[in-house]
Structure 1
Amino acid sequence: MTDPLLLGQRVLAILEHGQRDATYKLATLMALIEHSLENLPAGPDDPLTVPIPELAHRVLALYWHQVRPFEGHELAQRRTGSRTRIIDATKALREVARAGNSRLSLELASGRAPAAYTEAIERIALALIKQPLPRLQKLPGASRNDPFLYDDSFLGENVSRSSVRAHGDAIVLRPGVATALARLAGLLKPALEMMWVEDVRRMNKFLESDVPDVAGHLFGRERTALAAVRGPYKETFGPHCFYCSAHLPADNPIDHVLPWSLVGIDGLANLVLACRRCNGDKSNALPAMALVDRALSDTRLSALDDIATQLQWPTQRERVVAAARGIYRGQPPGVPTWSGYKHSERLDITFSSWWIAQI
């Protein structure tokens, strides 16, 4: 079985000591972690096929909001002279979808401009094939890659999309790698975000001064963007905290049931009304299974479909379920989970209807 900690150390060693001319390696690894978490194989030692177009979609989603101006500046995500194929493809889709500088979701943009979305995926897939995927496993000074994550022998700068399609248009994570990445998600993702912020600061001289939250801009922690769901949620579910039923003021928080720091899913199925006390106490803690059961109940999801139509905001139920399965399967038996203000309970997946239904 692949040792998650040893694999994590190896990945970080390559990223810390290798050459990072752009943030693309970080984005690629984050996308691999997300895919592993949401598509966890049945056995811990099983390999996992990762379609390159699916990986390209996840990379596009990471840059989708990042390419908007920050403090009046466009943030460089690569050193001078490096290619900007991924950034250019993202910007082109935003322009065709008339996204401007708004927080328009990628899901809605792809529906507005399906042909442009398909073109963006193709361009990003080609960029991944040529650079970050074949370079992600190479230590500085090494004459060749050490493919401990996946076989990259058919990837590289001179490779065409057609030749990669002949290999199934996918990479295959080696046995045990997907499970290890999923289990390390809570540790690796914050580390990758820190590296990403450091790289962006290094590539943008104006960020050396005291500026507002650049990490928030890069990774979507702009809570005001979630305010649009507050009114419809209160009309549908009542002005009460999802966790403790306390009556809510006008400006109450919107909480991610599965922590944003772990999965970053803004779909309606992962969003609930919360009071400040519960929101602050829960923070990034893993919720008890009973809370996930309530969030994914058929009654609630049926109501969310109407809100999704009203706001043109995706529910992402399937993604939330897949992420939850990946998260909880990677937890040690009996791990504490947050069950309410100042309360916790040991993890027990025995009686979860959504869990059983998805096995």
Structure 2
Amino acid sequence: MMMAMQQQLDFIAYIQRMLVEGDFSATYKFALLHALADVCVEQPMMYEASELNIDLAKLAEKLIELYWHHAVPFSSAHSGESALLKQNSGAQSKVIAVLYECQQNNIRSLRQLKLSPYWHTTYKAALDTLKTGPLWRLQILAKQEECFLYPHIKGKSYITLNAGIAACFRRFYDLVVYLAKNAWLQKIQSIKHNQALIGPKSQLHDFLFGFDRTALNKAKPVLVEIQKGQCFYCQKPLTSAIEVDHFIPFARYANDLGHNFVAAHRSCNNSKRDFLAAQLHRERWQDQNLDCHSQLLTDELTRYFHCDVDKSLAVSNWAYQVASSNGAKLWLAKDRFELAGSKNVQQLDLVAQTNHLYDS
């Protein structure tokens, strides 16, 4: 136990040092760090001391997913212009250029891209970029190799995370992704070419890392159907104020998985916010989306979202495992919570708590 705790502290310290002491001339290393974290939480449960083999093919696909939205021209409210943001100080990155070309040829989703003739070129660009750049440079700190995450063994089709590192990525996923995104954002803002376009204030974070709310509407009809017109959370009839909610909150796992959506009242969705839902909701979600209606959701949503039952289950297991380890509160209903891993529901009067804070 003490060894695991020490490794977790060492892991956090290493990530901090990486972002300070690393040489980030482009954004690829931030994307790779994000991709490694994603892959770790998408795996089934593992022992804390386990190593983890990660195929380079999977990392290349992750890079494509992460850069997909970045290949859309940024419309500046500051200058009124629209242009691609640069990801480095030199020429436009190869991955962005290839993805932009795909989108100019009416490729509108990652699913469509994978089925198109452009996929091979795009995948090769991402894989070549990975091999020639960030994979072997991510762990160079202050000009020295420090292979804390994985050994630098070239010539293989995979990397192997050192023992316990995958567990650290799972344990601190939120922190790693937050740090990677913010460093990525700062890098883009620091590039001179981008500064005139971005201006002093912008919605750059939402543009780069947000989700397409209009795309979520594609999931609404099938969700309302399988939920028999009832809100997933309160089980009351859905009215006109219907929203599609990420069951595992987007703030916790920033990827759209087709089996992770539920239809809910706006009031329930707003109350749940970025909390994980209580265990009874989790059990109902698993029964509804992963067991009873998994194939229907795949058939209806695979054109718009990545649909993978096993990945959705693995992400759910990871999220609730971390919540249990942290003693987090799970959302049950408005102003009602339960402790993760506990059957005891804690009802919280949030207004009273807020008043108490102000009174003190």
**TM-score calculated relative to the size of structure 1:** 0.83
- 2:55 alignment partner in structure 1: 51
Give the letter aligned to residue 209 of structure 1: P
Give the Cα–Cα distance (whole angstroms) in 1 for the partners of residues 239 and 189 of structure 2. Answer: 38
Q: Does 1:216 align with 2:206?
A: yes
Q: How does 1:141-180 map to 2 (within 5 A)?
A: 142=143, 144-154=144-154, 164=155, 167=156, 169-180=157-168
Q: State how many pairs are aligned.
A: 327
Deviation at 1:340, TM superposition (A): 2.2
Give the letter aligned to residue 286 of structure 1: L
User: CA 1:334–1:199 in 2, change beyond 3 Å: closer, same or farther?
Assistant: closer
Stretches of structure 2 lacking an aligned partner (at least 5 in a row): 76-81, 344-360
User: CA 1:306–1:28 in 2, change beyond 3 Å: closer, same or farther?
Assistant: same
Check whether the contact 1:85–1:123 (CA below 8 A) recurs between aligned residues. Answer: yes
Deviation at 1:238, TM superposition (A): 3.7
Q: Does 1:134 align with 2:122?
A: no
Deviation at 1:333, TM superposition (A): 7.2
Give the Cα–Cα distance (whole angstroms) in 1 for the partners of residues 342 and 29 of structure 2. Answer: 35
Q: How does 1:1-359 map to 2 (within 5 A)?
A: 1=4, 3-39=7-43, 42-71=46-75, 72-81=82-91, 84-95=93-104, 98-99=106-107, 104-111=108-115, 113=116, 115-140=117-142, 142=143, 144-154=144-154, 164=155, 167=156, 169-203=157-191, 204-205=194-195, 206-211=197-202, 213-297=203-287, 302-303=292-293, 305-311=295-301, 312-313=303-304, 314-330=306-322, 331-332=324-325, 335-348=328-341
Check whether the contact 1:60–1:86 (CA below 8 A) recurs between aligned residues. Answer: yes
Check whether the contact 1:41–1:178 (CA below 8 A) recurs between aligned residues. Answer: no
Give the Cα–Cα distance (whole angstroms) in 1 for the partners of residues 96 and 307 of structure 2. Answer: 27
Deviation at 1:286, TM superposition (A): 2.0
Check whether the contact 1:150–1:174 (CA below 8 A) recurs between aligned residues. Answer: yes
Give the letter aligned to residue 78 of structure 1: N
Give the letter aligned to residue 338 of structure 1: W
Q: 1:161-205 deviations in whole A, cap 9, x for unaligned? A: xxx2xx2x0000000000001110112212222222222222211
Deviation at 1:235, TM superposition (A): 3.8
Deviation at 1:65, TM superposition (A): 1.8
- What secondary structure sits across from 2:74 in the alignment? coil
- Structure with the larger strand share: 2
Give the Cα–Cα distance (whole angstroms) in 1 for the partners of residues 283 and 84 of structure 2. Answer: 41
**TM-score calculated relative to the size of structure 2:** 0.82
Check whether the contact 2:242–2:266 (CA below 8 A) recurs between aligned residues. Answer: yes
Deviation at 1:124, TM superposition (A): 1.1
